[in-house]
Amino acid sequence: MKKNFKNKLVGCMVLTTLVGILAVPSLAQVGQKMAYLNYNNMKVTLNGQTLNLKDSNGNAVEPFTIDGTTYLPLASISQALGVNVSWDGSTNTVALTTTTPSTSGNTASPTINTTTTTTQSISMDKAKEIALNHAGLTASQATFFKSILDWENGRQVYDIEFYSGNKEYDYEIDVATGTILSYDYDIEGYINTPVTPSTPGTPTQSTGDIGATKAKEIALNHAGVASSNAVFLNAKLDYDDGRRVYDVEFYSGNKEYDYEIDMATGTILSYDYDIEGYVNTPAQSTGDIGATKAKEIALNHAGVASSNAVFLNAKLDYDDGRRVYDVEFYSGNKEYDYEIDAASGTIISFDYDVESYTPSQSAGTSSGSYISEAAAKQIVEQKAGTTGIYREFKLDRDDGRTVYEGELRSGTIEYDFTIDATSGTILEWEVDRG
């Protein structure tokens, strides 16, 4: 359980990295001091929007106090305000410059425009408008439940999430250009009478099947991509929440499209696309561990014996310009998904889902029967084996049940989770090592 108020004894030189927002002595000093850093989950807002503060390496950081003075990370604050920051080691000077130089001879402090800067070209409202236009919806048809300014791969983005009817839309939009970097939507609570397989991974044929070719056609038509411009990575029959679906994945240019299509009706249940290679990534070794080794790595990490696993997929793919193995398998009622670096065998991300989960009949349905937020966070931190900063934590509805959903950040690792709000069972768990 993360403590809301924690003290750390450290030796530091705070002037090189931090801004004090309360009065501090003007007398210059050289050397080191021992100080208690007091954390209390402080937040910083800019024009009403909460800032996600990060260091130069993209790691989440928190403001803290020393002897009643509050300190903020200089790089994050300066960038949010449109001020450039640099360090001159020869003179031990932190240099702050505005994007528009002040008039010669003007020694007054520069005026900072906090609404229109080179680092924030579009507003939050504009980002919402872009998302709604792309989804083909009006503002009156949407209910927004998340709109935050965030950082992704070294750039500022807006994370926009909203509902319309029984569909949930998620958008990631570049703050500087308004480019849609990724988006997806899911049909919540979709029900189609399925034929339940006796063993996960061994489907039983139902009365209706549109076929993989038709599923590809539906996906291409929706994406507005001609078949001649698409390179298919996958078009396979799978199970999701007890129903049979086609998972269709393909590239067109530098975009990767993922679709989940109902096998019997052809309904698009979810889709997303990502712009691949939007940020240059380091060169990858030419080695290849092979699919067999990738499976072994995934099984060892999951603690599952090969005799207890039914593999759905173990294929070579590309993600952000690097070669990876996508490994998926069932064990009991759990589905595991792993992304493993093809050259080094490093686990880049993984998650698992409890399939066809049904709460016990004795579980209550009123809000009074839900586990507390504190208890849910304790479950998360016990599973992760660490504490950190919750970038998102909310009570939500998913497939007809009430759940806690959120994201815990600890250093460079992100933990995404879904927990049954009644029983405390972890329904979904994903780890991304950044």
Q: How far apart are CA 46 and CA 150, in angstroms?
A: 13
- Name the amino acid, one letter, at 161: E
Q: Is residue 384 part of a domain?
A: yes
pLDDT of residue 85: 67
The tally of domains found in the chain comes to: 4
Whether residues 287 and 270 fall in one domain? no
Same-domain pairing of 234 and 372 = no
Integer Cα distance of 172 and 72 in angstroms: 26
Q: Kindly state whether residues 271 and 281 are assigned to the same domain.
A: no
* Domain final residue, candidates 302, 336, 356: 356
Residue 137, pLDDT score: 92
Same domain, 184 and 267: yes
Measuring CA to CA, which residue among 133, 136, 145, 98 is closest to residue 119?
Answer: 98
Answer for the pair 295, 327: CB distance below 8 angstroms, yes or no: yes
List the structure tokens of 151. 């950082």
Same domain, 265 and 397: no
In a domain, 1, yes or no: no
117 lies in a domain? no
Please check whether residues 285 and 370 belong to one and the same domain: no
Whether residues 150 and 37 fall in one domain: no
Same domain, yes or no, for 261 and 300? no
Domain residues for the domain of 317 are 277-356
Q: Which of 240, 275, 310 is the last residue of a domain?
A: 275
DSSP-derived secondary structure letter, 264: T
| Domain CATH number, residue 383 | 3.10.450.40
**Per the domain annotation, does 179 fall within a domain?**
yes
> Is 78 part of a structural domain of the chain?
yes
Query: Is the residue at 180 inside a domain?
Result: yes
Secondary structure of residue 345 in the 3-state scheme: coil
How many other β-carbons are positioned within 10 Å of the β-carbon of residue 101? Answer: 9
Query: Would you say residue 103 lies in a domain?
Result: no
pTM of the predicted model over 0.75:
no
pLDDT in tens, the chain (434 residues): 333 333 333 333 333 334 333 333 444 555 556 666 666 777 787 766 677 777 655 667 788 777 667 778 877 777 666 666 666 656 667 777 764 433 333 333 333 333 333 345 899 999 999 999 999 999 999 888 778 888 776 678 888 988 888 788 889 898 889 999 888 877 765 555 444 444 444 334 355 889 999 999 999 999 899 999 888 887 888 777 667 889 898 888 878 888 999 999 999 988 887 776 544 344 556 688 999 999 999 999 989 999 998 887 788 887 766 788 989 888 887 888 899 988 899 988 888 776 655 554 444 444 458 898 889 999 999 999 998 888 888 887 776 678 899 989 888 888 999 999 889 999 888 888 75
Q: What is the pLDDT of residue 106?
A: 38
**77 and 194 together in one domain:** no
Contact 378, 1 (CB under 8 A): yes
Residue 2 is predicted with a pLDDT of 36
- Residues 433 and 340: their CA atoms lie apart, in Å, by 11
Q: Is residue 326 part of a domain?
A: yes
Indicate whether 288 and 328 sit together in one domain: yes
Q: Are residues 147 and 205 in the same domain?
A: yes
Q: Alpha-carbon distance 265 to 246, whole Å?
A: 11
Q: What tokens does 374 get?
A: 């504190």
Check whether residue 417 and residue 344 sit in a common domain: no
Q: Is 375 helix (H, G, I), strand (E, B) or coil?
A: helix
- Of 356, 381, 402, the last residue of a domain is 356
Of 284, 206, 273, the C-alpha closest to 242 is 206
